[in-house]
Every structure is written in C-alpha cells, then in structure tokens.
Chains A and B, each alone.
Chain A
C-alpha cells in the first residue's frame, strides 16, 4: 500500500523538521551572543580610540571581500552554504632535491611577486596599532559569519522540509480522501 509508506515518510520528515528547528534555535542563541560580544568590543575600542574613530568614516574606498560563500546543492532544491576565507595560501612544499636545484640557480632571479589579489585586513582601516578590543570584535564577528552560514543552511532545510511535507500531505489526501 502506498498510504502507509507515505505516512512513514511523513513522520520521518516531521521528526527531521523538529530536529532542525531545535538546532536552529540553539545556533541562533550562539549567533546572537557572538554579535552582542562584538558590539561590546566595538564600544570598548571606541572608548579607547575616540567616539568617531570606529565607524563608517573609516571605511576604505576600495574593499575586497576576505570571506566568500560557497553553495552546494545536496538534494533537489536544497542549498547548503559554506564560508571560505579567501587569500589562505598553503605553504609551498619544497623537497630536498628541489631545494638543491634552487640554490644552483643562484640569487639572480627576483622572487616571484606575491599574489596581488590578497585582500587587505579591514583592521588596517582603523590604524596601524589598534586596541585589542577591536581585534576581539573582529574575531566575534568572524565566528558570527560562520554561524550565519550554518543558520542559512538550516533555514533552507526547514523550508525544503516544509514543502516536502505539504506535498506528501496532498498526496495522502488524494489517496485517502475519507480520512481528511
């Protein structure tokens, strides 16, 4: 019978939805806490540097994002987000043989230029020596961004689950109109 299978699938989707909602609530609480920590740190930095020293007046005229978002489609219509930090370079591995060859080439070669695409740290907008509280604020908001990606994935999963459940409920009503 199709109806019992549909009911079993509906139960499983409902349980998953409730689990996702619980997880969402937990992550939201953590995100809100991180953002509040960030505000407090920004306030401390403003106290140390001056009222107008931490704000939109210090924004750079040219910004490159340090953080990117990668999306992947786990199932049809279900998007998942992942935060990736740009400009993270893995150190080049040089084996013993290659090191010897490099020494033979001599110092005439100029070093290859670093990637010109490395984005500038936004901390530099506020000066060279910034208070520790501003670094703490940056760390709090970076953690918040990671959580934001997880929460966005969960929200998508909840929406997807909701649509699946509605579809199954309609099919069930068509199969068993008397039960409705």
Chain B
C-alpha cells in the first residue's frame, strides 16, 4: 500500500531518532534540577561551621590576632594558638605545628617567619592546600621573601632546560 507523503515523513522522523519536543523539555528540566541541587549542596556546605585560623607567634602577634577574634579555647579542645616565649622549646613548637596540620577544623596557620625557620623541615614537608601556612614578620625579624616556603618552591620551578 502506498504511503502518503505525510505519513512517510512521520515514519522517517521516528526512525531518525529525533526526539519529540516534550522529551527535550523534560531533559532540560532534569538538567536544571541537577545544577540547582549541586548549588544547594555547595551553599549548605559553606553555611556550616567554618574553619578556624590558628596562630603561632610571639606575644604581640598572638595578642593582636586574638583581638581580631580568631581565638578558640574551651575545655574540650586544644587552643588554636601558641605564644612562643624565650623558654619555649623547638619540640613544643613543632608538636603544636603538627597538631594544627592534622586538625581538620583549621584552615590557615599564621606563623612568625623566625619561628617558621625553626620548623622549616616540617613546613617544607607540608604539601596539602589545607591548612594553608602563612609566614608573617615579627617585630625583631622583618619579612624575608627568600625564606618563604611557597615562594622558594615557585622560584625553583624554572630551570634552564624547562625554558628551552
């Protein structure tokens, strides 16, 4: 039986795999829902309790940043700061630094650069992005970019062979 041109067109359309309009609308809606769900999850994660900023430094540095409102001290957890005095040992500084690195609620560690020099090996071994370690100057020791771990890594990445 000979098919009418319209029927032939509809059959060819069906065979070509072109989806009808209603199915495209449903797919677009599903994609929009997935994007919205992802955004909501991200917002929920950000709205939760944020991370802390820790500080290891001399008396004035720690007092100043605690004035800024970063301090946490309660009976359940260890404090997120350490005041380094003349009789503070390097082991104590290193232990505190490593504790801060292993805590999952600390996002940034502020440390005086002269104290960072004492535990440079521990700083250089830290390769993760969180917590970020930020070296700051002290009253007696101004900031020296040549000693900063991050900048030393960036400076050392270019060799003569790489630039050919």
Contacts and interface: CB of A to CB of B under 8 A. Distances in A.
B52 interface: yes
A141 B65 contact: yes
Interface in A90-129: 119, 121-123
A55 B154 contact: no
Interface stretch (B14-22, B24-32, B131-139): B131-139
19 contacts: A24-B151, A55-B59, A55-B63, A56-B59, A56-B62, A61-B73, A63-B79, A64-B74, A65-B69, A69-B50, A69-B107, A71-B50, A71-B130, A84-B50, A119-B69, A145-B69, A152-B108, A155-B150, A159-B150
Interface string B38-61: 000010001001111100000111
Interface stretch (B5-13, B86-94, B116-124, B156-164): B156-164
Interface of B: 42, 46, 49-53, 59-74, 79-80, 83, 107-108, 110, 129-130, 132, 134, 136-137, 139, 142-143, 145, 150-151, 153-154, 157, 161-162, 164
A151 B64 contact: no
Top 7 closest A-B pairs, CB basis? A66-B69, A68-B50, A152-B132, A141-B68, A69-B107, A63-B71, A63-B73
Contacts of B150: 155, 158-159
Nearest to B112: A35
Contacts of A144: 64-65, 68
Interface in A20-45: 21, 24-25, 28, 31-32, 35-36, 38-39, 42-43
Contacts of A151: 134
A166 interface: yes
Given A65-B72, A71-B130, 12 more contacts: A21-B151, A25-B145, A28-B145, A32-B143, A56-B59, A63-B74, A67-B70, A70-B50, A79-B132, A81-B107, A144-B64, A148-B53
A24 B134 CA distance: 12
Contacts of A84: 50
Nearest to A179: B164
Interface of A: 17, 21, 24-25, 28, 31-32, 35-36, 38-39, 42-43, 54-56, 59-72, 77-79, 81, 84-86, 119, 121-123, 134, 137-138, 140-142, 144-145, 148-149, 151-152, 155-156, 158-160, 162, 165-166, 169, 179-180
B108 A148 contact: yes
B81 to A, nearest CB: 9
B64 A39 contact: yes
A55 B66 CA distance: 10
A155 B46 CA distance: 21
Contacts of B46: 70, 72
Nearest to B132: A152
Given A39-B139, A149-B108, A137 B154 contact: no
Nearest to B57: A35
Contact of B132 (A59, A138, A140, A155): A155
A152 B71 contact: no
Contact of A122 (B66, B107, B154): B66
Contacts of B83: 56
